[in-house]
Chain A
Amino acid sequence: MTQLALVIDLNVCVGCHACVTSCKQWNTSSEKAGPLFDDRPYGEDPTGTFFNRVQTYEIGCFPNTETLHFPKSCLHCEDAPCVPVCPTGASHKRAEDGIVLVDYDKCIGCKYCSWACPYGAREFDEYQKVMKKCTLCVDRIYDEKLPESERKPACVLACPTSARLFGDVHDPESQVSVAIREQGGYQLMPEWGTKPANHYLPRRKTRMHIHEDELVRTDNPLKKEDIRHGTSDDVTLDDWLM
């Protein structure tokens, strides 16, 4: 069974928000998800419906501080707690690819699904009064009019550091499964047993170890400069210049 998901590589995410607005622009004009409402777009406290946000955390104390940029969207949980609580069946998890979706025609806007999501992944559209969320760009990834390389969520295509991998986490050979397996991919809030399909790859550090003898080498160029303060009284340029 297929379970599509994103794997987000925190090792390379620089927090540029490309995934945030590329998602917004794709989905606001999307026939599946749009329009995405913006309230007070030019006023005080502008706010709008976004499916994806990038947050910033500081870990540790100066000078041993890590700054972590942390993108978060719907994690498409395998055991999605938001689905069974929906009274209308609007919130559903597709059997064929594991994407958790909301059918806006069925949604009554009771917000109960969002209460049942520990991750805060759902956003209520204050204009349409229905619950919205990341669709994994379901209207892109199967669109055969697009070249195959572009049948990916907008955020994945946009991400300048390719920090967002997309694929089937149930296929052990997929790029995402390999990344999770080999790079310590983890899930958020594992304590709830929601089994998020999206995974995160942790920071990795490359260090350099220097041995004492690497500093002292026989080919040290300083050895070529055995300082001789000799002057040349006998030879001048005129001696050899034509």
Chain B
Amino acid sequence: MSESPNKAAGGRVEVKNTTCYMCACRCGIRVTLRDGEVRYIQGNPDHPLNKGVICAKGSSGIMKQYSPARLTQPLKRKAGAERGAGEFEPISWEEAFSTIEERLAHIRATDPKKFALFTGRDQMQALTGLFAKQFGTPNYAAHGGFCSVNMAAGMIYTIGGSFWEFGGPDLERAKLFVMIGTAEDHHSNPMKIELAKFKRNGGRFISINPVRTGYSAIADEWVPIKPGTDGALLLALIHEIIKQGLYDRDFITQYSNAAELVNLNPNDPEYGMFVRFEVPPEEGCFDPQNKLWWDRELNKPISTHTPGADPRLLGEFKLSDGTPVKPSFQLLKERVEQYTPEWAADITGIPAATIRRLAHEMGITARDEKIELPIAWTDVWENEHKSVTGNPVAFHAMRGLAAHSNGFQTIRALGILMTILGTIDRPGGFRHKAPFPRPIPPCPKTPTKPEDVQPNTPLNGMPLGWPADPDDLFVDDKGGPVRLDKGFSWEYPLSVHGLMHNAITNAWRGDPYKIDTLLIFMANMSWNSTMNAEQVRKMLNDKDENGEYKIPFLIVADAFQSEMVAFADLVLPDTTYLERHDVMSMLDRPISEFDGPVDSVRIPVLPPTGQCKPFQEVLIEVGSRLKLPAFTDANGKRKYRDYPDFITNFETAPGSGIGFLAGWRGKGGEKHMRGEPNPNQWKMYEKNNCVFHYEMPKSYQYMRNWNQGYLQWAQSNAMTRYAEPINCHIYSEVLQKFRLAAQGKTNGRQPPEHLRKRVETFFDPLPFFYEPLESQLSDKHKYPLNAVTQRPMAMYHSWDSQNAWLRQIHTYNHLYVHPSVGAAGCFDDGDWVWVESQWGKVRCICKYSEAVEPGTVWTWNAIGKAAGAWNLDPMANESKQGFLLNHVISEELPPHDAGDHVSNSDPVTGQAAWYDVRVRVYKAGADEAKETFPQFDPMPSAPGTPPRRPWQNYFAGKFQKKG
């Protein structure tokens, strides 16, 4: 191959293991280098997560590493240049650090909440959260609030665990798998591996989704549904399953609160709460087993789980004091009475007969295909079981359900459906992953009052937590928010991941207060990670009457020249994943398997490019300079040399033996889960494929909510604080507590008047369906269509429009519409059209599709880019033909009785309601420009970014030398 430059190849070849970071999946990878350049990135066959496979993004990591969008030196905005213009000058790290130090030290000494730290798709929330807490600011969150917090909260508040990192469908043993809504972008490779095996083994796969693409493509049956109506479907399924008696009675009796008696005396302050036979001060956050069943034989109340007792699930009873009570399952049955398949058919667009059949398939498969594994285990009530049994019906859902303002209650309904089918942590159903299950709700709590934020003092509580009742909210005396994003306030009481999507708008408006410095890490808040992108860009650049920016100082840390970078006052160049240490920690979001805890690390395979510095090093440096207690000793001297040193030696409490990594602890690496720091821990991870996998005994692998052995093991390893049963919450007392407060029936905290109705309505202890809030506040005749987005598989959870290979696959995006939408709007396949919501409009190219529910239009998200961003040519298709739907989605709802500036989010959790937007679509004028609208002034290449190659011949070992 004489004319190929490859003749001279050969070169010095090295092979190194690390962990992928092209998305949030965190597969093990093996990187082959030739003469110091990446030759090949393959899946690590010895890694438990991906077992050797790798996806399109993982295979394109090379193009990320050598992307011209790489930031390579710290930058500060040029004096006089506007934010957004992207005009920078390079500075030294020392200047960057001293700027930050000076500014943050002042804020910390005066009013720590004026510093806000919001992080995006990062995988280091344990560290960023620690930094925020140590700094003393409540204003910290990661991207969960605008991603899938409804899924986390809805499931965890129901079954003590959730999908993705926290648990998932056991496709190895399931016979029927139902995927609802778009759910491809989490846990993608493992899911693909399992899905293929499932199908090959003859499993039946049903996809319920407005769009048939991705995994839905290979479903045995596609059930198109209107967006935002999943709750109606799920409730109708529950209706039919109860009506037919297809629920797993034994399971819900023993393992949920289905049989527990609810006080229904409307005059009792305990109305709607479970009847308890004693009310001791409840310490801790577990679920005390002090509730009652109605015993069938004795015909009287009896302590739950009394040996031999067989409670009633249905009926209504009176206690001796006259208190009317009903088992919560009776309340559920009454609730779903109205939710007939016919009712749901009108809402969802799914024929009633199909809904019934789906319910029957689920119920009959669960009942008749029972799995029994010869695994003996003991439950927390000391009952010994000879085997583990399971009902092989598995579900999966993520953002499709979550990103609606009715998502929390919808996901509660899903959790309840999974529970009554008897599929929680059982073979063939849903399986937890360590450290889940956790108590409902989990123990960590935020501070609760403004006084918990004090100068030069760490925050009195966690920056994010799990409220169990109104007293756990983080509000002032008037019930107003303490956090910038209004998280954990009465507006969004269970906003367990915060509301990053409102941080900028709130800071700009000064509601609830103004801040000084906003630090954004790895989040594209002026583009695809924000709603209302066009306005948010203006807010970032907006000045007050004194000519000062309304958000006075903006620091952006990122590895790439994103749209957000253009707005920064200070840019901190991060490394790529191939150049850094990272931990996927048990304290954070580990990559555990069903069979036990797994954590993993990244170890650099390449030196940092230019002056790039891993963001963790920045945090440790700044934390040390600010003398934050966790990073300095008693004398204020720096405690950790660098991030690897921090990971090795940090313990959650002195001598706790719990650190970021669970593997190879103890002086010589002989311990796991807990043990003193091991100076050679990194080396041991390196030798072991960068992953630690602890496989638990089989008897600990199932029924973990109630598995004595497991819970004691988890407690002894500090994964959970209590070895108490975690019964599924078919009926949610937590929600009832908020409702009672809203109804003024409690002595504790109560919501401000204007929010009473909102809290009372949405904090329903039983799942219910309501139309998404934006729909309720929209003219549905004017805006007849739902518009939704999803990421294509080659770009899940990644911002790889700058990736030379991936962008050839998805160069721009179309608006997919059913042909009938075109017929109604008088436009044709391939025409330029306007998509207009009540908030704004975008111009884009439409494409006909038969694989979309006719009331829905959709597009691939985050393909569209601002001109010049990511160091793409300003003429690149991403900016000329690609578009963002974000421009027509508002971060706030129209003024209504709950307030003028209420977030466009779920009223329970603050989950961004991306998929609620309603639009109309019409043909663009013949005289209008054939380019996407809106357009923005091109961003110039930032100083230090590599040149944008007009062409390239990537050949490892030769590439950089050749150019």
Q: Touch between A and B in complex, CB under 8 Å?
A: yes
Judging by beta carbons under 8 Å apart, are B948 and A22 in contact? no
Let me know if A96 is at the binding interface, CB within 8 A: no
Using Cβ atoms and an 8 Å threshold, which residues of chain A touch B361? 208, 210
A12-41: which have CB < 8 Å to B? 12-18, 20-22, 24-26, 28-32, 34-41
Please judge, given known A-B contacts A38-B805, A210-B357, whether A62 and B955 are in contact too, CB under 8 Å: no
Let me know if B267 is at the binding interface, CB within 8 A: no
Using Cβ atoms and an 8 Å threshold, which residues of chain B touch A36? 953-954
> Smallest CB–CB gap between A144 and chain B, Å?
15
Number of B residues near A (Cβ < 8 Å) is 117
Contact of B808 among A26, A46, A65 (CB under 8 A): A46
Using Cβ atoms and an 8 Å threshold, which residues of chain A touch B212? 65-67
Please judge, given known A-B contacts A25-B62, A42-B872, A232-B317, whether A14 and B195 are in contact too, CB under 8 Å: yes
Let me know if A191 is at the binding interface, CB within 8 A: no
Judging by beta carbons under 8 Å apart, are A11 and B199 in contact? yes
Let me know if B668 is at the binding interface, CB within 8 A: no
Let me know if A131 is at the binding interface, CB within 8 A: no
Chain B, residues 864-883, CB within 8 Å of chain A (1/0): the string is: 00000001110111001000
Chain A, residues 149-174, CB within 8 Å of chain B (1/0): the string is: 11000100111111100000000000
Using Cβ atoms and an 8 Å threshold, which residues of chain A touch B176? 208
Complex Cα gap A23–B203 (Å): 30
Please judge, given known A-B contacts A12-B196, A236-B321, whether A221 and B1 are in contact too, CB under 8 Å: no
Complex Cα gap A161–B52 (Å): 11
Chain B, residues 536-579, CB within 8 Å of chain A (1/0): the string is: 00000000000000000000000000000000000000000000
Please judge, given known A-B contacts A21-B806, A210-B361, whether A203 and B218 are in contact too, CB under 8 Å: yes
B110-157: which have CB < 8 Å to A? none
Contact of A161 among B56, B195, B298, B319 (CB under 8 A): B195
Judging by beta carbons under 8 Å apart, are B53 and A158 in contact? yes
Let me know if B652 is at the binding interface, CB within 8 A: no
Contact of A160 among B53, B804, B958 (CB under 8 A): B53
Please judge, given known A-B contacts A38-B954, A241-B277, whether A43 and B873 are in contact too, CB under 8 Å: yes
Which residue of chain A has its CB nearest to the CB of B62?
A25
> Smallest CB–CB gap between A237 and chain B, Å?
5
- Which of A42, A58, A154, A233 has most B Cβ within 10 Å? A42
Complex Cα gap A139–B555 (Å): 48
Judging by beta carbons under 8 Å apart, are A235 and B300 in contact? yes
Let me know if B721 is at the binding interface, CB within 8 A: no
Please report the number of residue pairs spanning A and B whose Cβ atoms sit closer than 8 angstroms: 305
Let me know if B352 is at the binding interface, CB within 8 A: no
Contact of A42 among B215, B804, B852 (CB under 8 A): B804
Please judge, given known A-B contacts A105-B1, A231-B317, whether A29 and B850 are in contact too, CB under 8 Å: no
Please judge, given known A-B contacts A12-B199, A44-B880, A215-B364, whether A17 and B808 are in contact too, CB under 8 Å: no
> Smallest CB–CB gap between A162 and chain B, Å?
6
- Which of B218, B317, B818 has most A Cβ within 10 Å? B218
Using Cβ atoms and an 8 Å threshold, which residues of chain B touch A63? 222, 224, 853
Please judge, given known A-B contacts A14-B218, A38-B805, A62-B818, whether A232 and B202 are in contact too, CB under 8 Å: no
- Which of B188, B364, B875, B952 has most A Cβ within 10 Å? B952
Let me know if B337 is at the binding interface, CB within 8 A: no
Contact of B55 among A16, A37, A127, A229 (CB under 8 A): A16
Judging by beta carbons under 8 Å apart, are B851 and A104 in contact? no
Let me know if A61 is at the binding interface, CB within 8 A: yes
> Smallest CB–CB gap between B248 and chain A, Å?
8
Judging by beta carbons under 8 Å apart, are B314 and A225 in contact? yes
Which residue of chain A has its CB nearest to the CB of B958?
A35
Complex Cα gap A204–B956 (Å): 41
Let me know if B301 is at the binding interface, CB within 8 A: yes
> Smallest CB–CB gap between B440 and chain A, Å?
24
Please judge, given known A-B contacts A25-B41, A37-B953, A205-B220, whether A159 and B53 are in contact too, CB under 8 Å: yes
Using Cβ atoms and an 8 Å threshold, which residues of chain A touch B364? 208, 210, 214-215
Please judge, given known A-B contacts A21-B805, A65-B850, A67-B212, whether A35 and B5 are in contact too, CB under 8 Å: yes
Please judge, given known A-B contacts A16-B192, A58-B851, whether A232 and B320 are in contact too, CB under 8 Å: yes
Using Cβ atoms and an 8 Å threshold, which residues of chain A touch B849? 58
B941-955: which have CB < 8 Å to A? 948-955
B261-307: which have CB < 8 Å to A? 277, 292, 296, 298-301
Please judge, given known A-B contacts A11-B199, A58-B851, A128-B4, whether A39 and B951 are in contact too, CB under 8 Å: yes
Which residue of chain B has its CB nearest to the CB of A220?
B245
Using Cβ atoms and an 8 Å threshold, which residues of chain B touch A39? 951
Judging by beta carbons under 8 Å apart, are A17 and B277 in contact? no
Complex Cα gap A162–B216 (Å): 17
Using Cβ atoms and an 8 Å threshold, which residues of chain B touch A230? 299, 317
Using Cβ atoms and an 8 Å threshold, which residues of chain B touch A25? 40-41, 59-60, 62, 805
Which residue of chain B has its CB nearest to the CB of A59?
B850
Complex Cα gap A61–B877 (Å): 30
Using Cβ atoms and an 8 Å threshold, which residues of chain A touch B9? 29, 31
Let me know if B247 is at the binding interface, CB within 8 A: yes
Judging by beta carbons under 8 Å apart, are B951 and A236 in contact? no
Using Cβ atoms and an 8 Å threshold, which residues of chain A touch B59? 18, 21-22, 24-25, 154, 158
> Smallest CB–CB gap between B634 and chain A, Å?
51
Complex Cα gap A94–B43 (Å): 30
Chain B, residues 811-841, CB within 8 Å of chain A (1/0): the string is: 1000000100000000000000000000000
Contact of B955 among A34, A207, A223 (CB under 8 A): A34
Let me know if B809 is at the binding interface, CB within 8 A: yes
A188-242: which have CB < 8 Å to B? 203-208, 210, 214-215, 217, 220-225, 227-238, 241
A-binding residues in B (CB < 8 A): 1-7, 9, 34, 39-43, 45, 50, 52-60, 62-63, 68, 176, 184, 188-189, 192-193, 195-196, 199-200, 202-205, 212-218, 220, 222, 224, 244-247, 249, 277, 292, 296, 298-301, 310, 312-321, 357, 360-361, 364-365, 367-368, 793-794, 802, 804-809, 811, 818, 849-854, 871-873, 875-877, 880, 948-958
Inter-chain pairs besides A36-B953, A235-B298, 4 sampled, C-beta below 8 Å: A29-B956, A31-B7, A159-B53, A160-B193
Closest CB pairs A-B (n = 5) = A231-B318, A236-B320, A161-B196, A221-B249, A41-B804
